[in-house]
Amino acid sequence: MPKLTRAAIRARRCRRCKDRVAGIEGDSGGRGTGEESIAPIIPQACNDNDKMTDEEFLYAFEGATLPRTEWTHEAHVRMGYLSLCRMPLPEAIGYARERILAYNRAQGNFTGYHETMTIAFLHHIAKRMRDNDEGKWESFRVAHAELIARGMEILLQNYTRDALFSHEARSAFLAPDIAPLPEAS
């Protein structure tokens, strides 16, 4: 990991919550992927998801050091929320796809990614952020607990079970067959 110096650190601000996040100019987050990281460079990530700052969480997720047991549905929602704090929905979709696939590969999981669920959840998160968001994960998590509830009930407003859990929906985005996804902007 590059040494953090004042000259090397640039300050960024989350476009929604205005929190300062630091990164290395031109650095890919020390992960050697060549992709720009949205996580700041920090010395070490804690492995306790509930106690991690947003920056520590993103660092652990992007570096695939987040233990697989902590890559829960709530962690997926948190990653979606944090990515939407930093970029518009179309970019967040690409980021989520690339980073989840990379995380899964690093963990030895080659079949866990679900394209339709990822995109649909990002739409639901973005709509709630637009309607009512204080800019902090913890506040969002409490205000929108229905997104974190176990199961996929929120997506079953838009999809039948057969459609949502089909092979086609896993490998490519499938348009809703019950009701349209919420407008995010």
Domain positions in the chain are 9-171
Question: Quick one: pLDDT at residue 101?
Answer: 97
pLDDT at 36 over 70: no
Q: How far apart are the first and last CA of the chain?
A: 37
Token pair in block for residue 88:
């518009």
126 pLDDT band, cuts 50/70/90, is: very high
The mean per-residue pLDDT over the stretch 46-62 comes to 80
Which residue type does 78 have? R
Question: Quick one: pLDDT at residue 133?
Answer: 76
The mean per-residue pLDDT over the stretch 69-76 comes to 95
Question: Quick one: pLDDT at residue 13?
Answer: 31
To the nearest whole number, what is the mean pLDDT of the chain? 78
pLDDT at 177 over 60: yes
DSSP assignment, residue 49?
G
> Three-state DSSP class for 84?
helix
> Three-state DSSP class for 171?
helix
Which residue type does 93 have? I
Percent of the chain with pLDDT over 90: 64
Task: Return the residue matching tokens 């047991």.
Answer: 69
Question: Quick one: pLDDT at residue 49?
Answer: 54
The string of pLDDT tens digits covering residues 96-120 is 999 999 999 999 999 999 999 999 9
Which residue type does 58 have? L
- Alpha helices for the chain (secondary structure H): 54-62, 73-86, 89-106, 115-131, 137-143, 161-164, 167-171
Q: Which residues, in sequence order, are CB contacts of 8 under 8 Å at separation 6+? A: 2, 24, 25
> Distance between CA atoms of 74 and 41, rounded to whole angstroms?
23
Q: Which residues, in sequence order, are CB contacts of 73 under 8 Å at separation 6+? A: 148, 150
CA triplet 150, 173, 92: central angle to 5 degrees? 75
pLDDT at 19 over 90: no
